Structure 1
Amino acid sequence: MYVLHGGTKRFGELQRSIPEVSRHVLTMQLRELEGDGIVRRIAHPSVPPKVEYSLTDLGRSLGALLEPFAAIGDQYIQSRKIAEENDGD
């Protein structure tokens, strides 16, 4: 959801934005969010298939809730980097 908060993305863009997540898990999460009415999936009839994902109005309304979690995640990542740098000394 956090990545989609920035706008419509294709599956490959989402996958590159979250490299730690397997293709299977990303697919399952997107399907679940789509089923919950949070993510919209649009499949364009083309070869190769083009599928785009975006947030619905409900998904966008949840954006304010995501910001504190993103901040906590950023702080955690920064603290891990600092800890790893200090371990190398």
Structure 2
Amino acid sequence: MQDLVIERMRGAAAAIFSLIMMLTAAGLGPYWTGKISTITGSLATGIYALMVCIPIAFVLLLLAAARLRHETPERRRAMAASVGERF
């Protein structure tokens, strides 16, 4: 992720990324586990049901990795220059 943003924005990008990951993992995971376990009456079923997210996340990460191959430092600098960033 550090290579995707300009140098002066790395700290903010890392903080926003961490915040999103924590809110998603720590907030939605336990909520949906409890919701599914209440519906089914089994905590084990609630935990196992969320294991479906693992292959979905894997596929999304593969798609993101394929897209990053096209990212170059020159392209990143050109995009930054187009919004007024100076190096």
TM tier relative to shorter chain: 0.3 to 0.5
More helix by share: 2
